[in-house]
Structure 1
Amino acid sequence: MKPDPERCADGVGRTVRAAASAVIGLWLAFLVVASVAAQQLPEDFLSSVQKMEESSHSEVWSEWDRQAEKAEAAIDSGEGAGPEFDAIRSDLEAQKTNGKAISEAAETAITRLTREQSALGPPPADGETESVDAAKLRGELAQRITGARALQVRAERAINRADELLARLTGVAQRHFLEQMTTLGPSPANPANWLAAFEAGRDALGRLAAEAARNFDDPTERGILRERAPIAIVAFLFAGAFGFGLRGLVMALMRRAAQSAGGRARRLLLGIGAALARFITLLLIAVTLLVGVVSLGLFDVVGEAILKGAMSGFAQFIAIFVMAAAFFSPESSAMRLAALDNRAAVAGYRAALLIGASLLLDAVFTGPRDVLNAPAGASAVASFTAIVIGAFGLWRLASVTGRPTASTDVEATSHYLAQALRRMIWGVALAAPVLALIGYEFAARFVFFPFVASLVLIGVGYLIFRVAGEAVDIRLESDEAVAPAAAEAGDESGDENVAPGQPLRLIPILVVLVLICVGTPILALIWGASTTDLMAVYRSVARGVVIGDFSISPGAFVAFALIVAIGYMLTRALQRILRYTILPKTGMSTGGAEALVSGLGYVGVMIAIVVAISAAGIDLSSLALVIGALGVGVGLGLQNIVSNFVSGIVLLIERPIKVGDWIEVAGVHGYVRKVNVRSTVIDTFDRSSYILPNSDLISGAVTNYTLSDKIGRVIVPVGVARGANTQQVERILLEVGRKHRMVMAYPAPVAYFIEFGESVLAFELRVMIRDINWILMVRSELNHQINARFREAGIEIAFPQRDLRIRDLGPLEAALATSLHGRAPEPSAGDRVDARPAGASQTDP
């Protein structure tokens, strides 16, 4: 079915308008809330200041003192990790934030109170008096100013104390981390540790069986078990159905859809959909199994610990499994994201499953470790086993990816990054087992497991990026299919300055930026950063950088960008409404309408920039010096720019040239592609861009071949040999001109006998054609037809020629005789050499 371009255009237009309206509405709502908050915030701060003034021993100061004491105790203990340690740091960060809020509120109060005090005038001099009310008010204001200053000093002291304690806590945490990294524990190379590990495993199984037997022997628990048994049976049946039935059905449908998909983009999206289907299926299996096991109620502490570890490991295994299925897809190469053959894809898939199995084993081993009180040697053996399995999977994964060649700079960069990642994988696959074997269990776990989690995160981000890219490709393919139909329908409402699909091509870049912003904190959490650290970084970034009287923060930058973008969109919308809806009904000239629309665009953008600067917190009064300097620059160094700007306005109003005109200026022919405010872009016939300042178009001579219409004249010069029938030549030229399809009947073609040339009889055929843009083609076809008609009529095309007549042979004969016989013959009378043009008579001098 052929897509309807009007319906597609209407749908896209409605979508864009709805999205723009939603964005504008949300932004206006935000501005309203922000303005209200900005008006109420000082009052809230002032009220808090007043409350703080009322009691110097408020609960806030006491709480902050208790937090400082806890921090001092944590520093003295040397424990640099744990939930309590993170809670202390979080409290200190909150203390800093609240302290700064109180300090700013106090500063606001001091400013306001000082202004009110100044309004009372200077205090009375010695011997002078003032009214009782004025004196009382002056004293109250002075007291409140003193209290606010004292409050500000105390808040600043609390901030400084929190900064100092945070720095010391950070040092404790770093020392604790280094101690853990460099602590040498039991080595898996010691056989005794393997025996301890087996004993710990047997003890865990024994305690697990004991819990189950104890609960089963209890009559009360047995009754509960009978009641819950149907739930468990149904859950297990559903798990089996999901595992064997639903998964196979979904995958069969996906493979069938992949075979019938038209393009690679659709097949890749189906591959990602298949990966998500696997994820949902495995998640349902895990949930139903968990429901079934929990509903039995056979296990207590040890069973719950093992179950929690198993479920955590199974969730990690599911994530690895889904990523492997999406990238390697051993069932169907059409749905494979990685550019690998079937053999390499199967090897990569198995390597990824080994990594997932290592995560599952580690979660099962480490889950009940605290409950079982397993010895350190058993823990080292369990970690070593999981790391070795995962490291082997990492090594195989890096080995099967191959070494693709790059054909472009972008591909070279991506392949360079891929090779760097491969080397990192090999390094981790070697370093982690070696560290675990030596006995550095913490270091080995820190190197291996966060790295695997980082790989999974990178894979998820790459999947999202590919989904966005392939979706954009599919949309562009559909737009390319609709474009010819829209062109046939005469739809020229698009923006000529924006290439088709150009905004859509920015979507993958925006997705990358969002992924970086979202993924960076997650990576920090994976590698051991706490939420307190992240919040501290966030607060530092949110405060921005203060340069002089200006404060540059991400929030102000985002506000500036959003306001400018919204103002630009509104301006463009108003321009389109004026150009296509309002101005055509006013009868205004095309030049005036275009000038009005362009002026509206410049004014709208300038207003948006001014409003954005104000919203970003930049004082416009401080720009007065800059504006004055710009005025001097305009008067001195920007004269040419201003001249070109004014010339551009004149061009927009008078419209001596317009886009699409064929013009000649300074000996350059070409089509006008764009008329800017400063310059005009001309596309020459050799496909180069000629950028001409607008002042040259106003002050210089310009030939516009298509100003009023496209009718133009073609002159075809023709030369025939002397002796030709001139009337016949003229008749043939007229017949050729009249029969050409591009030649107009009125004005009618004319042929002129121009002159007698040295070697030719010169004629000209002059015709008017409908479109001067086809002048070269028309002239070439006329020449071909004239040549053919002349051949048929036996008319010779003239070419330059000369006849050489020797009028005096004496000197030539003498020279020949001398060279041959050594003597010169007697010259004959009347011999001369005569050189004249061909066709000259004997009597010509």
Structure 2
Amino acid sequence: MNKFRLVLSLFLALASILAPICVHAQEPPGEKPLAAQVKDWQALLDRYEKTLAKGDLDDDRLVEIRTELASLRLEARSAADLAQPLVQATRDELAALGPPPGEVEPPEAAGIAAKRKAISERLANMEGSLKEADLVITRADGLTERLQALRRSRFTERVLTRGPSPLSPSVWRKGVQEMAEAATALRQDFAAWLAGDGTAANLRQMRWQLPLAVLTAVLIAWPLRLWFVRRFGYVELTAEPSYGQRLRTALVTGVIRTLIPSAAVLALYLGFTAGNLVSDRIQAIAEPLAAMLAMFFFVVAFCRAALAPGEPLWRLVALGDHSAKVIARIVTAMTAVFAIDAVVNVWGERFEWSVELMALHNFVTGLSIALLLLVILRRRIWESEAGAARWPGLRYALTLLVYAIPIAALPGYVVLSRLLAIQLVLSIGLYVLVTVLAKIGDEFVNHTLSENAIVGRHLRSNLEISSDGIDTLNFWLTGLVRLSVGLAGILALLVLWGAGGSDLNAWLYEAVFGFKIGNITVSLADLAFGLLLFGGMLVLTRFVQRTLEHRILPRTRIDPGLQHSIRTAVGYLGFTLALLTLISAAGFDLSQLAIIAGALSVGIGLGLQNVVNNFVSGLILLAERPIKVGDWIVVGETQGYVKKISVRATEVLTFDSASVFIPNSELIAHPVTNRTYADKVGRIVIPVSFTYGTDARKACETLMQVAAAHPRVLRQPGPFVFFKEFGPSSMNFEVIAFVADVDTMKSVTSELCIEIDAACRRDGLSMPYPQRDVHLDFDQEQLARLLARLGAPQLSPVAPGALPSDGA
């Protein structure tokens, strides 16, 4: 296989996978019975076995048989998959009749017995056909393994076969002589072509048109190219460009630098061939030359766009100026070597060059690639800015492989040398391509989810996805893109190292449409379809929730807490249905959920009981609604407003603006005070004290007037004042008032206290200070010193046991 057609081969492999699928999708079911198809497949396999038994097949015939076997295997697998539902339907019909009667039971009706017999026979035939289809697949796998073993042995023999050594002088003599003969023959063909009557007439006809057209194309294309580079290329910025800007600029400049010279080469080639100016032999030389020139322009343009030798700010890789310039030159030279190698190989096949000449060509090509790789693997190029060498182990391994290229060619293993050189460079190029595609995918996802993009704005506004949700979605989407690019790179690497399209057919079909792990069949296609349905149902659930929240529920008289419960219940229901849809679409039998639930019950009993307890408690809270969003609750020492009731816990926002997460089971198992359960009416209690001697009736009237005059105090139930008690040093009263909204209790309490203070001052009602008796225990000497310091007269001594007089 031509390695330069890697991408084309990959697309052809994918197309060959999709083709039988489309055919089967369009085929009406039951057009040909499975038993008849099995007979055709068995006959075809018998013919393949006889063909392989002869042993005189060339490589092209082996590849052809391998492709036909892969197609046959895919067809058998697809037909068996299509027949499975019919077999299951027949089993269901038989099960609907129930078990046959036992020996001691009365016989069943003749019609039922006849139907049971017919269904049983049909089921047996269908199951037999399925088993024969599995046998066909097994035989096809065996023949494929034989073919693969034969191809591997031939490939190994061809690679390890020792040919003419490039060190032999006879090889050089014959090769140089053949090259001289080929050049002479080409010159003679060119001279004969020029001397022909038709050529002379065509040249005279296009003597002015073709040069003028080429000159006009150059005069138009070159300024256009410069304008595009200046307009979309390395423009001057005030700040350092982001990686996305650098990537977009590299892609634009790479496309511009590729299209214009490639278009010029294509125009020249089409101009000569369309005008019948070249012979068939010269066209056989010009055609691969034009194709390789276009490839050369493509690789060099994008390499220089990514490395940006003269523009370090726009460089996509962390390399210094010297390293970027050296790598750009090496890649340019290596691309030229590959282009020349491809052209020479095509010429050698078409003109049947000798083995010696091709050996010399392969040796020179491998040696050139090895020298260029040794230059690019130097330590100085891969040093970081701190001077440390990057990836030393990888560089040493690649260096050993590079040295093996000329070493293998010198004794005559030229094919092995060429294989190492070509595959090594193409594998490195494929790695670079996959890395660039992954970066492009990351930038595309980031741009799509940004606030400036339509999708990003829709996700933020319509679906109300937060910034954290956007970051999570960005992470998973970029991971999915990288996984897809990585898998495509692996497939391309398999093609690069010799895997054919038929091999990829079989592998991809097994991976996508079902492979067995024990007794379980895993289908990536069903799983992807299930995930798609799961995501779609989640989006639909989110849309229904938003519609209920913003359009339907606000127009009803349902309180906000019940609205939140309805919205949450819809979310739980939608998630449950989406999960069941995913399980069903992925191919799992829902009847097995009982077994899964039984297995999970062990884990629940061991470590998940708290989680399940909180989940069930959350459902009870949403159903019975002892608390709801917006309620003012008191749980132990925590009080605040219910902000959210989730699956595991309830979020309570305290008056200090702190969020407290209380497990749902705590709200079910322990007492909870809900201050706004029935309504939001709140009761205010203000204690007020007056000094003894105050007129109690006047005090009650003053307090009642203040409470009744406040505009936010309810009239029904109205305020009232209690004479509560005679305290140790005051007469204690209580003012009780009600407000419509419990959230206004603190502000109304403050305003009432201010008004009560002003009214008491106005009416001469005094509020006492607490009275305290202080007893000082001093002896006579301490008391005398204290009085002397205070300048008070001394007290007369008192006899022990006597009481002081009143004047003392």
Fold match (TM-score > 0.5): yes
Which of residues 91, 94, 103 in structure 1 aligns to 2:68? 91
Partner residue of 1:731?
none
Q: Is the 8 A contact 1:320 1:355 kept in 2?
A: no
Are residues 1:402 and 2:382 paired? yes
Are residues 1:273 and 2:273 paired? no
Q: Is the 8 A contact 1:120 1:134 kept in 2?
A: no
**CA distance in 2 between partners of 1:138 and 1:567 (Å):** 42
TM-fit CA distance, 1:249: 3.0
Which of residues 556, 581, 600 in structure 1 aligns to 2:526? 556
Which amino acid in structure 1 is aligned with residue 347 of structure 2? P
**CA distance in 2 between partners of 1:109 and 1:668 (Å):** 63
**CA distance in 2 between partners of 1:595 and 1:492 (Å):** 21
**CA distance in 2 between partners of 1:334 and 1:271 (Å):** 12
Q: Judging changes above 3 Å, is the alpha-carbon distance between structure 1 residues 238 and 461 closer, same or farther for their aligned structure 2 residues?
A: farther
Identify the range of structure 1 (367-376 vs 587-596) with the bigger mean alpha-carbon deviation.
367-376
1:367 aligns to what SS in structure 2?
A: helix
**CA distance in 2 between partners of 1:556 and 1:353 (Å):** 46
**CA distance in 1 between partners of 2:128 and 2:320 (Å):** 74
**CA distance in 1 between partners of 2:116 and 2:448 (Å):** 72
TM-fit CA distance, 1:500: 5.0
TM-fit CA distance, 1:207: 2.1
Are residues 1:330 and 2:303 paired? no
Q: Judging changes above 3 Å, is the alpha-carbon distance between structure 1 residues 296 and 183 closer, same or farther for their aligned structure 2 residues?
A: farther
2:558 aligns to what SS in structure 1?
A: coil
Per-residue CA shift, 1:388-415, capped at 9, x if unaligned? 3333333333446534489xxxxx9xx9
TM-fit CA distance, 1:507: 3.8
Which amino acid in structure 2 is aligned with residue 339 of structure 1? A
Q: Judging changes above 3 Å, is the alpha-carbon distance between structure 1 residues 224 and 386 closer, same or farther for their aligned structure 2 residues?
A: same
Partner residue of 1:70?
51
TM-fit CA distance, 1:122: 8.5
Partner residue of 2:283?
304
Partner residue of 1:566?
536
Q: Which runs of 5+ in 1 are unaligned?
A: 1-33, 407-411, 714-744, 748-769, 776-803, 809-829
Which amino acid in structure 2 is aligned with residue 236 of structure 1? V
Q: Is the 8 A contact 1:560 1:612 kept in 2?
A: yes
Are residues 1:205 and 2:175 paired? no
**CA distance in 1 between partners of 2:662 and 2:119 (Å):** 68
**CA distance in 2 between partners of 1:534 and 1:236 (Å):** 44
Are residues 1:539 and 2:516 paired? no
TM-score, normalized by length of structure 1?
A: 0.67
Which amino acid in structure 1 is aligned with residue 359 of structure 2? A
- Equivalences for residues 38-57 of structure 1 within 5 A: 42-46=29-33, 49=35
Partner residue of 1:169?
147
**CA distance in 2 between partners of 1:100 and 1:164 (Å):** 15
Partner residue of 1:800?
none
Q: Judging changes above 3 Å, is the alpha-carbon distance between structure 1 residues 42 and 92 closer, same or farther for their aligned structure 2 residues?
A: same
Q: Judging changes above 3 Å, is the alpha-carbon distance between structure 1 residues 318 and 616 closer, same or farther for their aligned structure 2 residues?
A: same
2:581 aligns to what SS in structure 1?
A: helix
**CA distance in 2 between partners of 1:664 and 1:154 (Å):** 72
Are residues 1:178 and 2:151 paired? no
**CA distance in 2 between partners of 1:385 and 1:538 (Å):** 39
Q: Judging changes above 3 Å, is the alpha-carbon distance between structure 1 residues 236 and 684 closer, same or farther for their aligned structure 2 residues?
A: farther
- Equivalences for residues 5-84 of structure 1 within 5 A: 42-46=29-33, 49=35, 62-73=43-54, 76-77=55-56, 79=58, 81-82=59-60, 84=61
Which of residues 226, 236, 250 in structure 2 aligns to 1:248? 226
**CA distance in 1 between partners of 2:271 and 2:224 (Å):** 19
1:368 aligns to what SS in structure 2?
A: helix
- Equivalences for residues 386-397 of structure 1 within 5 A: 386-397=365-376
Identify the range of structure 1 (534-543 vs 698-707) with the bigger mean alpha-carbon deviation.
698-707
Which amino acid in structure 1 is aligned with residue 352 of structure 2? N
TM-fit CA distance, 1:240: 3.5
TM-fit CA distance, 1:174: 1.2
Partner residue of 2:420?
447
How many pairs align? 684
**CA distance in 2 between partners of 1:120 and 1:573 (Å):** 46
Q: Judging changes above 3 Å, is the alpha-carbon distance between structure 1 residues 227 and 646 closer, same or farther for their aligned structure 2 residues?
A: same
Partner residue of 1:518?
488
**CA distance in 2 between partners of 1:342 and 1:384 (Å):** 33
Partner residue of 2:325?
346
TM-fit CA distance, 1:603: 0.6
- Equivalences for residues 340-419 of structure 1 within 5 A: 340-399=319-378, 401-404=381-384
**CA distance in 1 between partners of 2:89 and 2:743 (Å):** 76
**CA distance in 1 between partners of 2:367 and 2:657 (Å):** 63
Structure scoring higher RCO (CA < 8 A, sep ≥ 6) equals 2
Q: Is the 8 A contact 1:215 1:221 kept in 2?
A: yes
Q: Judging changes above 3 Å, is the alpha-carbon distance between structure 1 residues 550 and 492 closer, same or farther for their aligned structure 2 residues?
A: closer
Which of residues 501, 504, 527 in structure 1 aligns to 2:497? 527
**CA distance in 1 between partners of 2:130 and 2:456 (Å):** 66
**CA distance in 1 between partners of 2:621 and 2:138 (Å):** 64
Identify the range of structure 1 (610-619 vs 556-565) with the bigger mean alpha-carbon deviation.
610-619
TM-fit CA distance, 1:228: 5.4
- Equivalences for residues 662-673 of structure 1 within 5 A: none
Partner residue of 1:458?
431
Per-residue CA shift, 1:51-80, capped at 9, x if unaligned? 569xx7x6x65544433333333xx2375x
Which amino acid in structure 2 is aligned with residue 576 of structure 1? R
1:44 aligns to what SS in structure 2?
A: coil
Q: Judging changes above 3 Å, is the alpha-carbon distance between structure 1 residues 645 and 199 closer, same or farther for their aligned structure 2 residues?
A: same
Matched residues, percent identical?
26
- Equivalences for residues 493-508 of structure 1 within 5 A: 494-496=464-466, 498-508=468-478
Partner residue of 2:402?
429
Partner residue of 1:694?
664
Q: Judging changes above 3 Å, is the alpha-carbon distance between structure 1 residues 457 and 132 closer, same or farther for their aligned structure 2 residues?
A: same
Q: Is the 8 A contact 2:648 2:664 kept in 1?
A: yes
Q: Is the 8 A contact 2:159 2:413 kept in 1?
A: yes
TM-score, normalized by length of structure 2?
A: 0.70
TM-fit CA distance, 1:40: 8.2
Q: Which runs of 5+ in 2 are unaligned?
A: 1-20, 685-710, 714-741, 748-775, 796-803
Are residues 1:187 and 2:187 paired? no
**CA distance in 2 between partners of 1:40 and 1:381 (Å):** 54
**CA distance in 2 between partners of 1:604 and 1:367 (Å):** 62
TM-fit CA distance, 1:289: 3.0
**CA distance in 1 between partners of 2:251 and 2:572 (Å):** 45
Identify the range of structure 1 (290-299 vs 200-209) with the bigger mean alpha-carbon deviation.
290-299
Q: Judging changes above 3 Å, is the alpha-carbon distance between structure 1 residues 506 and 109 closer, same or farther for their aligned structure 2 residues?
A: closer
**CA distance in 2 between partners of 1:425 and 1:684 (Å):** 64
Which amino acid in structure 2 is aligned with residue 503 of structure 1? L
**CA distance in 2 between partners of 1:806 and 1:529 (Å):** 111
**CA distance in 1 between partners of 2:531 and 2:263 (Å):** 44
**CA distance in 2 between partners of 1:122 and 1:652 (Å):** 50
Identify the range of structure 1 (196-205 vs 85-94) with the bigger mean alpha-carbon deviation.
196-205
Which of residues 184, 188, 195 in structure 2 aligns to 1:217? 195
**CA distance in 2 between partners of 1:136 and 1:658 (Å):** 65
**CA distance in 2 between partners of 1:551 and 1:607 (Å):** 23
Q: Judging changes above 3 Å, is the alpha-carbon distance between structure 1 residues 342 and 206 closer, same or farther for their aligned structure 2 residues?
A: same
Q: Judging changes above 3 Å, is the alpha-carbon distance between structure 1 residues 664 and 395 closer, same or farther for their aligned structure 2 residues?
A: farther
2:165 aligns to what SS in structure 1?
A: coil
